Structure 1
Amino acid sequence: MQQIARSVALAFNNLPRPHRVMLGSLTVLTFTVAVWRPYVYHPESTPTPIVKTIELEKKEIRSLLPEASEPIDQSMPDEVEDIPQDELDDKTAGEEGVHEYVVSTGDTLSSILNQYGIDMGDISQLAAADKDLRNMKIGQQLSWTLTADGDLQRMTWEVSRRETRTYDRVDGGFKMSSAIQEGDWVNSVLKGTVGGSFVSSAKEAGLTNVEISAVIKAMQWQMDFRKLKKGDEFSVLMSREMLEGKQEQSQLLGVRLRSEGKDYFAIRADDGKYYDRNGTGLAKGFMRFPTSKQFRVSSNFNPRRLNPVTGRVAPHKGVDFAMPQGTPVLSVGDGEVVVARRSGAAGYYVAVRHGRTYTTRYMHLRKLLVKEGQKVKRGDRIALSGNTGRSTGPHLHYEVWINQQAVNPLTAKLPRTEGLSGTDRRDYLAQVKEIVPQLKFD
């Protein structure tokens, strides 16, 4: 050992003086760093640090695992919520904060409200307030409002044209009240020719904003009302309830629209949906998943998700699918691309509008394959999945919005191409024979 030390010292002494100075300085610096320990001054007045123990439920623990593909501390910023709006949105949105739904085949109170993220406890309390809610019929309409925290505040059930039941939140549950309308229903045909826009022309023809909304929604799969041309014609059959000379409510029975010499029809059936003159459904079918094969769900839809540390609501308005980067992302239905750009936390994202009722959004993409304003068909490639924006791993964030309200993409009642059959079709065709002759332009 001593021989090694003497050899090192001899080699050091034989070095030129500048080299000896440099090597000595490095040695001293290395030794200093090795033995240095930071000293933090803690005055006696400093209080003892507070340690908060947080106990998480199993469902919350899952959200903090590495597989959780989006940070839980924040929801998406407002800029992501901005879907381009136009004049027709004012007529299709309905009353602000009110969500509407028409009961369809196989629906139950639980299946309807659960897809909107409403708590099962509230659903159970509603059912306890009125047992008839377990026997809702096809074509009946529900509407509801939520509190700022996402709790159900009030629900309305249109049992029939004459009876409406309302359920208001009270301590311990919901209180039901019923209102019976005593007016007379009168059918009216309103006709017009498109001038500056359909909305203004429909108002001149005597339709209210609610009735204009009904017409646009009924025809949304056949016609883009923004592209109607001057001289196009429309004829609308409305059934209106009149009480003491005032209109209380109305229902669209049928509409005929002639654009560039071609006629389009939408006739209401007993199930509350609209079909063409042959009983064929007007809605364009949707795929359930935005990829050619299914991938693991890494984070579920949860509009009431809480940050386990702050206790604040940090909603997750879609579903995350864990998938390799570069996986083709498909449009789930026919529509128009309204957003195709990069936007902060969402990274590269695409929004597709389907008719006037449905919008789908695809986020954290690696590459966009479409442009804003482009028309797409169901199954078209619109992007490649990625890991851009606020993301902790490769995944696709996918959202479905109905009437500007986020719903659970895995359970939402999506439109499908269907038609009437059997006795339903025969009854419908009998209605068509009565309604179509009334929709003349003369």
Structure 2
Amino acid sequence: MQLRNTAKSALRIQGIPIKHLVALFLALLVILAAALWPGTDTNNAITERQTLVVSPIQDTPITPQIRYRTTTPAESTNANNTRNSTITTADSVELTRSEPQMLLESEEPQRLTDTIQPDTTATTEQQAVTEPTELEVKIAIDQGDTLSTIFDQVEIGQTTMYQILSADEQLLALDILRPGNILTFRKHPETLELDEMELYIHPGNQIIYRRVDADNFEYEEVINQGIWEQEIVAGEIYGSFYVSAIRAGLSKAEIHEINKLLGEQIDFNRQIQAGDRFQIVRNSQYVDDEFTGQTSIEGIRLQQRRNSYTAFLFEDGNYYDSNGESLTRAFRRNPHNQNFRVSSNFNPRRLHPVTGRVSPHNGTDFAMPTGTPIVSIGDGVVTRVENHPFAGRYVEIQHGSTYKTRYLHMHRIDVNRGDSIQRGQRIGLSGSTGRVTGPHLHYELHINGRPVNPMTANLPMATSVPQEQLADFNKRVDELVAIMEVAHEEQFAMRRDESQPGT
């Protein structure tokens, strides 16, 4: 009994119950077994899980991941030496094929679209550094374009636009921009301000507006006469004259001119018949073998069974029939019915009061009070009704193919574009619109596209060719008729061929 009591006392001296010692011993065995247990099974389990994710690599190739990044030239060179195959685009954006990577079970495969995340901020900054500002920009005029929208497109301020419009006041070339015209803007390489602007009208006519100082531009008109080639246009009328003329190769403007010249002799709506023939001799302008679109009608002949109607252009710029009788009604010298003082004469060499450079005055100014009636100097068609910031309200009238008049700074305009105008007809009232120092009329006369002095120009005042020039006129008519006869014989030959079987 004492021995049992003594042993029990010894264990109690340790202070640890037996059942606790047993539990501690078992825990040590478990820890030791875990530490010494081989890891082959665990690795195999992980490998098995990985194989479940990437197993398609045995059957179908993994779609390569694509990522964008901007690079410098040096980085692109180094990239060629890496394991990745890289395709560099023009924007220095690389499409990189990454090596397949093993994915853990906890990771989800990324979709292709999720990996395309271009760094737009870096790209924009890179472009701002590497792309130089364009110093020359060309804009081809399209239908509906205006000068204001074009200046906004090339990021040039409206102040500069008005400076150019001020220089263009004497030409008014920028008021009507047509499809096919080209505007070229050239900027200073340091200040990036507009140095000059070029208007390309056609190969024979360009206008350059150059900066003089911070506030002013001047213009230079570049004229290239090129070569004028004589052509014959012939046709036979089936249906209307208009459709037949278009089919033969005449333009709408040329058809309008023919109607006007022969309109007092024949009614094109009622008297034209199927089988009537026409021959037109015209000059066409070419510059470096390129057609400019500019033509001039030299002779017209419309042949019916019993009658023949003709018009021939003489050296004085007027049209006459084969007998020398004028087809152009006489012009008047002044565009008003009273005697007004000329306040500023036509002067192609006038110096600009600010810049001191040549700034032509292409018309004659009449000092007259606002509200004075303005009349057309001859028959014609209204081609422009505009409101210019410097020329003010103005009207342009085309008198045949040779003459054109302009009336500027008007207070009111009584006609519309496309209206037919008679000599002496009122077209509006004078005023002081635009940039003026007082009320007046600025009146211009253009002959064959060039401004001339309207007070001294040779205008058609007579009703027939002067007697002393009649011989020269008849010689000119014989030359044009000979050309028309060649075309006339070819028309008959074509008709005979078409009537033969099998043709």
TM-score when scaled to structure 1? 0.47
Task: Determine which structure has more spread, i.e. the larger CA radius of gyration.
Answer: 2
Greater relative contact order (Cα < 8 A, sep 6+): 1
